[in-house]
Chains A and B, each alone.
Chain A
Amino acid sequence: MSYAPANRNSGRNDRETRYGNRDGPRPRQDGGRPNYRSQRPDSYRRPEEIKLSHTLPGIRVLDGRRPRILTKNLVPGTVSFEYEERHTDEQGEWRVLDPKRSKLGAAIMKGLQQSGFRDGSIVLYLGASHGYTPSYVSDIVGPSGSVFCLDFAPRVVRDLVFVCESRSNMAPILGDAKQPDGYADKLPAEGVDVVYQDIAQKDQVGIFLKNCDRFLKQGGYGLLAVKARSIDVTKYPTDIFKDIKRGFETGEEGKRYVIVDYRELDPFEKDHAFFVVKKK
């Protein structure tokens, strides 16, 4: 994992070059990044250089030019989402994880090598929303695992409750990830194996660290989906990702965590990145 030295962007903070109001329009954000966005998402084809992992626990990847991610359905026959795709073979029923709907799916499509999930993991899921990705996490950790799904918007938790009711390893919590005190007593006292966070807040990383420090077991994994646009719309997303990386490598949090995987989620999610960290 490498990134450019800190002084590479030193000129960018000058107003003229940053916003391009004197020197014409601002340059394209990522320079030579291939323009995936112009392609229709349906026609996305995996670039040759991305190698998909086939060893992620609980996840089956069908390789090919148009790969698919499958998980074994925890509740065969139950439709958790009306748009989900299901397949049945001799091993049972499988559900297809759509990378356009899920950042976990997008990260796997971009070649994620370590997910941190295992059969039987206890997961704290922050920003569960309607429960699409959490339902796949529940498939992955299986009947002996458990997923605590947290969201603070009552509207989406309404949908989430229905998903949790049909899946015996999921439990909903209506609470604010910024205030761990509000739900600390609802989680297992010994901590959790995985913290997954996908929230659109300015202080995403701070909230993530707060939760990992408090709830993650030693050697546990933290999965963080970063939405650069929530942190600062005026900054370059790649710069934001670099700052976060730098924090985990040389900053204060680097003493407690180590990055084990990092993916940018383009073209599935614009200006998003996915971090997997391990607690030392």
Chain B
Amino acid sequence: MKLTVQTKLTMKVTTLRKTQTTTASVKVFIREARIATGMATFQEARKALLTETRRKVSAAVGEDTLIIQAVTTLDQLERAANGLVKKGREWYAAYDPETEKAAKEHDAFLAASKDGTRPKETMGGTLTAADKAAMDSYLDTLRTLTAERDALAAYVEEKMKVHCPNMTLLAGSRIAAQLLSHAGSLQRLATVPSSTMQLYGAETALFRHLKDRSHKAPKYGVLFNHPLVQKVNPRERGKAARSLADKLSLCARLDFFKGELKAAEYKRLLAEKFTDW
């Protein structure tokens, strides 16, 4: 058979194409195989990582987490209860304004309104049994809520006395726990400078000041509620907060490294410095 140049050329091209397709398909095969083995090893690694991470997340829940959850819930509960009791007082005053007026504190009001007796010459309106029942049911809920709040506060106190004895002695369980919640952990609280501790709770004011110096620097955050800062001469408040933060950061370190109980001594030093307290 006599082949023309043309046919020879075509044959050559076809064989070439064929080999090319073969190499290409081998390449694809190799790539797929590599991906498959890669995925198999990845799936193994993934499984191990999931287990490990789950274990680590579980181990991360410690005393710090529990106290922080409790104290932040307590803060929120207190704020909510306050508003709800306010509304309850308003409602009860329609029935018995005299008792409502006489009770100054919210808790005293909740106790006084419990039996539902009112003076004979009352300014309050006439309520049907159903009206009274609706109101009483709401007030009862408030009593439960405030009881829950007190229980939570007691729980925080108890926890803090064990976890941070020094800080609790100097600042009270509430403020100490709030500082803890700002820091995120006792370890962090023990490592931050006292100036940071002084300003926990004043972050908004601090960054406003740093961004734009036309705002004054804050002097205290959470520590504002401490009796020392509250009682000293207002001109000395910044100084008091600074000294208090200094001693509190020492306390945090003692608490974290499980040192001795030195807070009483610090308290005495502060009392000597600020005679108003």
Q: Are A25 and B214 in contact (CB under 8 A)?
A: yes
Q: Which residue of B lies closest to A151 (CB)?
A: B53
User: Is residue A174 contacting chain B, with contact meaning CB distance below 8 A?
Assistant: yes
Q: Are A25 and B56 in contact (CB under 8 A)?
A: no
Residues A26 and B212 in contact in the complex (CB < 8 Å), given A146-B42, A233-B207: yes
B37-81 Cβ-contact flags toward A at 8 Å (1 or 0): 011011101100110111011001100000000000000000000
| Alpha-carbon distance A72/B46, docked complex (angstroms) | 22
User: Is residue A76 contacting chain B, with contact meaning CB distance below 8 A?
Assistant: no
Q: Are A186 and B43 in contact (CB under 8 A)?
A: no
Q: Are A186 and B49 in contact (CB under 8 A)?
A: yes
Count contacts between A and B, CB distance < 8 Å: 64
The A interface, classified by DSSP as helix, strand, loop or mixed, is mixed
- Minimal beta-carbon separation of B40 from chain A (angstroms): 12
Residues A173 and B207 in contact in the complex (CB < 8 Å), given A19-B212, A25-B214, A144-B35: no
| Alpha-carbon distance A173/B53, docked complex (angstroms) | 6
- Minimal beta-carbon separation of A5 from chain B (angstroms): 26
User: Is residue A164 contacting chain B, with contact meaning CB distance below 8 A?
Assistant: yes
Which residues of B have CB within 8 Å of A164? Answer: 46, 50
Segment of A33-41, A154-162, A215-223 in the binding face: A154-162
Q: Are B49 and A172 in contact (CB under 8 A)?
A: yes
Q: Are B210 and A233 in contact (CB under 8 A)?
A: yes
Q: Are A168 and B50 in contact (CB under 8 A)?
A: no
| Alpha-carbon distance A188/B43, docked complex (angstroms) | 12
The B interface, classified by DSSP as helix, strand, loop or mixed, is helix
User: Is residue B101 contacting chain A, with contact meaning CB distance below 8 A?
Assistant: no
Residues A25 and B212 in contact in the complex (CB < 8 Å), given A144-B35, A154-B57, A171-B45: yes
User: Is residue A20 contacting chain B, with contact meaning CB distance below 8 A?
Assistant: yes
Q: Which residue of A lies closest to B43 (CB)?
A: A168
Q: Are A161 and B53 in contact (CB under 8 A)?
A: yes
Which residues of B have CB within 8 Å of A233? Answer: 207, 210-211
Q: Which of B35, B39, B50, B212 meets A171, CB within 8 Å?
A: B50
Q: Are B49 and A171 in contact (CB under 8 A)?
A: yes
A6-24 Cβ-contact flags toward B at 8 Å (1 or 0): 0000000000000111000
User: Is residue A120 contacting chain B, with contact meaning CB distance below 8 A?
Assistant: yes
User: Is residue B213 contacting chain A, with contact meaning CB distance below 8 A?
Assistant: yes
User: Is residue A181 contacting chain B, with contact meaning CB distance below 8 A?
Assistant: no
Q: Are A157 and B57 in contact (CB under 8 A)?
A: yes
Q: Are B60 and A186 in contact (CB under 8 A)?
A: no
Q: Which of A20, A120, A169 meets B212, CB within 8 Å?
A: A20
Q: Are B49 and A234 in contact (CB under 8 A)?
A: no
Residues A172 and B50 in contact in the complex (CB < 8 Å), given A144-B35, A154-B56, A186-B45: yes
| Alpha-carbon distance A165/B53, docked complex (angstroms) | 11
Q: Are B212 and A173 in contact (CB under 8 A)?
A: no
Which residues of A have CB within 8 Å of B212? Answer: 19-20, 25-26
Which residues of A have CB within 8 Å of B211? Answer: 233-234
Q: Which residue of B lies closest to A174 (CB)?
A: B56
Q: Are B45 and A21 in contact (CB under 8 A)?
A: no
Q: Are A20 and B214 in contact (CB under 8 A)?
A: yes
Q: Are A173 and B49 in contact (CB under 8 A)?
A: yes
| Alpha-carbon distance A20/B35, docked complex (angstroms) | 59
- Minimal beta-carbon separation of B64 from chain A (angstroms): 11
Q: Which of A20, A170, A234 meets B210, CB within 8 Å?
A: A234
Q: Are A120 and B49 in contact (CB under 8 A)?
A: no
Which residues of A have CB within 8 Å of B46? Answer: 146, 164, 168, 170-171
| Alpha-carbon distance A164/B54, docked complex (angstroms) | 11
| Alpha-carbon distance A143/B38, docked complex (angstroms) | 12
- Minimal beta-carbon separation of A38 from chain B (angstroms): 19
| Alpha-carbon distance A165/B211, docked complex (angstroms) | 42
- Minimal beta-carbon separation of A19 from chain B (angstroms): 4
Q: Are B57 and A20 in contact (CB under 8 A)?
A: no
Which residues of B have CB within 8 Å of A161? Answer: 50, 53-54, 57
| Alpha-carbon distance A65/B121, docked complex (angstroms) | 71
B180-218 Cβ-contact flags toward A at 8 Å (1 or 0): 000000000000000000000000000100111110000
| Alpha-carbon distance A173/B48, docked complex (angstroms) | 10
A169-201 Cβ-contact flags toward B at 8 Å (1 or 0): 111111000000000001010000000000000
Which residues of A have CB within 8 Å of B53? Answer: 157, 161, 172-174
| Alpha-carbon distance A234/B217, docked complex (angstroms) | 14
Which residues of B have CB within 8 Å of A172? Answer: 49-50, 53
Given contacts A165-B50, A233-B211, 11 further A-B contacts (CB under 8 A): A20-B213, A25-B212, A25-B214, A154-B61, A161-B50, A164-B50, A171-B46, A173-B49, A186-B45, A233-B207, A234-B211
User: Which residues of A line the B interface, CB within 8 A?
Assistant: 19-21, 25-26, 120, 143-144, 146, 148, 154, 157-158, 161, 164-165, 168-174, 186, 188, 233-234
User: Which residues of B line the A interface, CB within 8 A?
Assistant: 35, 38-39, 41-43, 45-46, 49-50, 52-54, 56-57, 60-61, 207, 210-214
Instruction: Jot down 18 A-B pairs with beta carbons below 8 A, ordered by A.
Output: A20-B212, A20-B213, A21-B213, A25-B212, A143-B39, A146-B42, A146-B46, A148-B49, A154-B56, A161-B53, A161-B57, A164-B50, A168-B43, A169-B42, A170-B46, A174-B56, A186-B49, A234-B210
